[in-house]
Structure 1
Amino acid sequence: PHVVGGSAVVKPPLSRTKPPPFSVRVAGFSASNSQGFTTSAKEEGPSCIFVGPIETASQETLEALYRQARDAYYSGEPLIVDDMFDRVELKLRWYGSKSVVKYPRCSIRRHSTYADAEEDLSQGLALASIWILIFAFGCTLCLVPIVYTISLAYQDPFSSGASYDSQAANLEFLATVNGILFMGIGSVTGYPLASAAVRVLQRLWRNDLVALKGACPNCGEEVFAFVKSEKFNGSPHRADCHVCDCTLEFRAKTEQSVSRLGRKWVYGRIYLVSRKVEAGGGCEPSA
């Protein structure tokens, strides 16, 4: 085996007697051509496209490598190791490439059916707008009584020159007491609402709480759920499909992204939870 650009490990062909299905020029140097001579593609084995570091590779280059490695794997002569293939696929998913879009499928390792999931920005914005309204309502409950009490306090100096009887003085005292009570009740009810809204909005911005969407592994309909990231939730989130009533398990993963104002990139999978079929019903994977 030889290393291509320090990023992809090339596996030797399964059989030396069978010629490789294709020959691709490597944009780099190997141990053979550095000595002043060239080795044929058949003697070296299959080669893959030079991409350099995956973190800085372009989408077009990664798509070409992904298609080449996928076709070579299906032909029985893999080009790159599984870990490198997964990294290329994950980077293409971050780019939003259509080359890595997959439909619900079965996992041989887990013996389960699953589908890929991505962040549902529309549902996230809808939830954020609701909490913004709650935050505004809580701030209103806190600020309006304070403004009302301050306005009453500033009215007293302007009206001090006028003469009041005892009844007017009592009414003024009651108004002041009502303002203080109004301010206290508003602070007690408004501050918890505003602080709770701030915490939820912060979690939404950091993607600690995210909306995932994807195809149901059983019926193929689009489903979504609000899921906590693995950092805050040890157990996966479970929900029922609104079409086939199958139990689904949402698992979210986050990756740090420096190009999105500090927000994390979220992706995940939706697993079909297998369970025994109840009498007269139940949930079985569709054919």
Structure 2
Amino acid sequence: MTTAAPAAPGAGRLGRLRAGLRVGAAAGGEGPSCLYVGPIETASQEMLEALYHQARDSYYSGQPLIVDDMFDKVELKLRVYGSPSVVKYPRCSLKRQSTYADAEEDQSMFMALSSIWMLLLLFGTSAFLVPSLCILSLTFGDAFGARYLLYGAKSFDGITRVNDMVLIGLGYLIGYPIASASVGALQGLLANNLVALKGSCPNCGEQVFAFVKTDNSIKAPHRAECHVCGCPLEYRTKVERSLSGPRRTWVHGRVYLVKQGHPRKRKWLKD
């Protein structure tokens, strides 16, 4: 019968230490884990913000959690929510060699423009319908009682009729073009062909906005100038389709600082 050799002092502790190192190495080989948020389109803003911060911190530490495409989708969805976590300041593009800033939809300016066109439509329609009612009253006499309602029992003389015809002509010349232009503008706004974009000027950092057309047939970007420093700006838009929410599309883009031909002609913000 053989007898087992006595264990050396500290052998058990050394064995437990080696086992712990093997378990730690196996766990480290699996890689870091990220939060589960489910489908990005239906995830809440709080869950996406937590995933965004975790993925960004792990990327800076040298251990990325998610691929770049998924990170861009999370960032884009947070921009739809209007999260302050994804707000970025003007920065440089190495590919285009230009300074740019992010641009978002400005719903307040959109509603203000819609209200103005609605008021113009109301004014144009009123100026167009009132002469039409006058023509009906002059044509059919007192059939509708309009002449008696407007002028009482007075008879029309020559000067009054001339004034009425001038009023009718002005109503058609002014009211019809305004009403037609208002209807066309409102149709474009409802069809989402014109959006209001706001962003920061890449040169001075002040907030700028512009009304940009999103029609796919228009390839040229929209150009404007900063109202503070006067630098030429270029707005480039991108339309994203949303699977959830009341709106089917969401428009965002970037504001680029346009390069000038000669260095002396460039308009930079003075210190």
Which of 65, 83, 87 aligns to 1:101? It is 87
What is the aligned residue count?
239
After TM superposition, the structure 1 = structure 2 runs for residues 232-247 of structure 1, keeping only pairs within 5 Å, are 232-247=217-232
Query: What's the CA shift for 1:85?
Result: 0.8
CA 1:193–1:260 in structure 2 vs 1: closer, same or farther (change >3 Å)?
farther
- For residues 145-164 of structure 1, give each alpha carbon's deviation from its aligned partner in whole angstroms, at most 9, with x where no partner exists: 111222334544699xxxxx
| Distance in structure 2 (CA, Å) of the matches to 1:257 and 1:155 | 58
Are the equivalent residues in 2 in contact too, given 1:277–1:283 (CA < 8 A)?
Answer: no
CA 1:153–1:261 in structure 2 vs 1: closer, same or farther (change >3 Å)?
farther
Q: Give me the CA root mean square deviation.
A: 3.2
Are the equivalent residues in 1 in contact too, given 2:238–2:253 (CA < 8 A)?
Answer: yes
CA 1:78–1:258 in structure 2 vs 1: closer, same or farther (change >3 Å)?
closer
| Distance in structure 1 (CA, Å) of the matches to 2:144 and 2:58 | 88
| Distance in structure 2 (CA, Å) of the matches to 1:47 and 1:158 | 80
For residue 64 of structure 1, what is the aligned residue in structure 2?
50
- For residues 124-178 of structure 1, give each alpha carbon's deviation from its aligned partner in whole angstroms, at most 9, with x where no partner exists: 223222222221122112200111222334544699xxxxxxxx99958x94x98
One-letter code of the match for 1:98? P
| Distance in structure 1 (CA, Å) of the matches to 2:62 and 2:269 | 30
| Distance in structure 2 (CA, Å) of the matches to 1:276 and 1:97 | 38
Tell me whether 1:220 sits opposite 2:240 in the alignment: no
Query: What's the CA shift for 1:75?
Result: 1.5
- For residues 169-205 of structure 1, give each alpha carbon's deviation from its aligned partner in whole angstroms, at most 9, with x where no partner exists: 9958x94x98677656634543332122111112223
Are the equivalent residues in 1 in contact too, given 2:200–2:207 (CA < 8 A)?
Answer: yes
Query: What's the CA shift for 1:223?
Result: 0.9
CA 1:277–1:232 in structure 2 vs 1: closer, same or farther (change >3 Å)?
same
| Distance in structure 2 (CA, Å) of the matches to 1:41 and 1:109 | 39
After TM superposition, the structure 1 = structure 2 runs for residues 80-159 of structure 1, keeping only pairs within 5 Å, are 80-153=66-139, 155-156=141-142
Which of 179, 182, 195 aligns to 1:210? It is 195
Give the secondary structure class of the aligned counterpart of 1:106: strand
After TM superposition, the structure 1 = structure 2 runs for residues 27-42 of structure 1, keeping only pairs within 5 Å, are 40-42=26-28
| Distance in structure 2 (CA, Å) of the matches to 1:217 and 1:250 | 12
Are the equivalent residues in 2 in contact too, given 1:219–1:286 (CA < 8 A)?
Answer: no
After TM superposition, the structure 1 = structure 2 runs for residues 7-46 of structure 1, keeping only pairs within 5 Å, are 40-46=26-32
Tell me whether 1:265 sits opposite 2:268 in the alignment: no
Larger-gyration structure (1/2):
2
CA 1:170–1:63 in structure 2 vs 1: closer, same or farther (change >3 Å)?
closer
- Stretches of structure 2 that go unaligned for 5 or more consecutive residues are 1-24, 146-153
Are the equivalent residues in 2 in contact too, given 1:277–1:284 (CA < 8 A)?
Answer: no
| Distance in structure 1 (CA, Å) of the matches to 2:187 and 2:245 | 15
- Stretches of structure 1 that go unaligned for 5 or more consecutive residues are 1-38, 160-167
After TM superposition, the structure 1 = structure 2 runs for residues 172-183 of structure 1, keeping only pairs within 5 Å, are 175=161, 183=168
Query: What's the CA shift for 1:232?
Result: 4.6
| Distance in structure 2 (CA, Å) of the matches to 1:43 and 1:158 | 90
Are the equivalent residues in 2 in contact too, given 1:47–1:79 (CA < 8 A)?
Answer: yes
TM-score by length of 2: 0.75
Which of 234, 252, 264 aligns to 2:237? It is 252
Query: What's the CA shift for 1:221?
Result: 0.7
Are the equivalent residues in 2 in contact too, given 1:206–1:263 (CA < 8 A)?
Answer: no
Are the equivalent residues in 1 in contact too, given 2:137–2:144 (CA < 8 A)?
Answer: no
Percent of aligned pairs with the same amino acid: 58
Q: With CA pairs under 8 Å and 6+ residues apart, which has the higher RCO, 1 or 2?
A: 2
CA 1:51–1:286 in structure 2 vs 1: closer, same or farther (change >3 Å)?
farther
After TM superposition, the structure 1 = structure 2 runs for residues 176-191 of structure 1, keeping only pairs within 5 Å, are 183=168, 186-187=171-172, 189-191=174-176
Give the secondary structure class of the aligned counterpart of 1:283: coil
